Amino acid sequence: MSQPKVELKDLGLIDYKECWDYQTKIFEETVQQKISNRKFPATKAETQNYLLFCEHPHVYTLGKSGDLKNLLIDKNQRAKKKASFYKINRGGDITYHGPGQLVIYPILDLDYFFTDIHKYLRFLEESVILTLKEYGVFGQRVEGLTGVWIDTESENPRKICAIGIKCSRWVTMHGIGFNINSNLDYFKYIVPCGIEDKSVTSLQKETHQLIDMEVLKSKFLKNFTSLFNIQIV
């Protein structure tokens, strides 16, 4: 089987809503193409796969299954912190995005890969775990929870990566929030992912050094490409 082609787009620092709209456009076009292919197989066209890298200005997002009580500051307080807020259509609870966090949005047609959401989530986690390993940091999973953690057996387990996705007709959107040089103070104003007994960390905090984001992206891309057996275009 040939390697699926995935187009990489690095959007830099981009407003959350602008990026969400862009994701949604690609996602809906892909879903509609799949519907058309099924109805009219004689004119079947290939769908496209994308991998989006970006950072966002300060923003809190609440997933479909989230509880608004996990957002601990009101509109006026958010304005002082220059943080926006959106209820969105991914799974999971509340999370924070901001400068210094690498956000990764794979918009993939899983029919090119495997039609197994749990396997897809584990591959996303593994791509982060492998990247952390290159910095001497041991990333782990917590049974029953999605994301990547540090020191899960200690008295201070820390989450370094949040994952939340949407999938329809085996097309994915949303994805990974990987804390690299993040301002962790912003996590104080939420109950991250609705989990009260675990704190949040960043790669900068764990390694005690400022991380070169471009080098980090290259390492992540290498691991993601290998795991998913894709060709980046």
Question: Which amino acid, 58?
Answer: H
Which residue in the list 19, 54, 161, 193 is annotated as catalytic? 193
> d(Cα 16, Cα 58) in Å, to the nearest integer?
9
Q: What local confidence, expressed as pLDDT, does residue 218 receive?
A: 98
Domains of the chain: residue spans and CATH: 5-232 (3.30.930.10)
Which residues does the chain have with pLDDT short of 50? none
Pairing type for strands 158-168 and 171-179 reads antiparallel
Q: What local confidence, expressed as pLDDT, does residue 155 receive?
A: 84
Q: What local confidence, expressed as pLDDT, does residue 197 receive?
A: 59
Q: Collapsing DSSP states into helix, strand and coil, what is residue 119?
A: helix
Q: What local confidence, expressed as pLDDT, does residue 93 receive?
A: 87
Residue 19 appears among annotated catalytic residues = no
pTM of the model: 0.94
Q: What local confidence, expressed as pLDDT, does residue 1 receive?
A: 58
DSSP of 116-148:
-HHHHHHHHHHHHHHHHHTTT--EE--TT--SE
Q: Which residues pair with 52 in a beta bridge?
A: 9, 105
- Determine how many CB atoms are found less than 10 A away from the CB of residue 73: 17
CB 59 within 8 A of CB 97: yes
Supply 128's token pair. Answer: 């982060």
Return the residue matching tokens 């990566």. Answer: 161
